[in-house]
Homo-oligomer: A and B are copies of this chain.
């Protein structure tokens, strides 16, 4: 029934970092999967709605998805060079967001927090020669 959705989910699981719908589609076609772009978009959205994958927006405005190991609320440390992603936890940030929101009379507080950097592999000294 959700054959396609599972296939999309699997493809995502095989990826290291965040991937766009277009990426996933290309990847699947490359491996011979018979699926349409529309269906990939729908599957990704459904997975995101169901909380099975995480979404974030790139600087270029593209939505990218990732099948995370943790199924509880968490954030991401993403290498801006290679995309390698680490799932991180930040109780202090959670508290801070709630506090700062309440202090100003806001309710139903949510937050987006992403950390970017250059991972150790990518920051290895460039060859001088």
- A residues lining the B interface (CB < 8 Å): 57, 61, 63, 77, 79-80, 86, 88, 90, 92-93, 96-97, 100-101, 104-120, 123
Contacts and interface: CB of A to CB of B under 8 A. Distances in A.
Main secondary structure of the interface of A (DSSP, over half): strand
Nearest to A110: B116
Given A92-B92, A96-B92, A117 B110 contact: yes
Contacts of A110: 115-117
Contacts of A79: 106
12 contacts: A77-B104, A77-B106, A79-B106, A80-B108, A93-B96, A101-B115, A106-B115, A107-B118, A109-B115, A109-B116, A110-B116, A113-B113
A101 B77 contact: yes
B100 A77 contact: yes
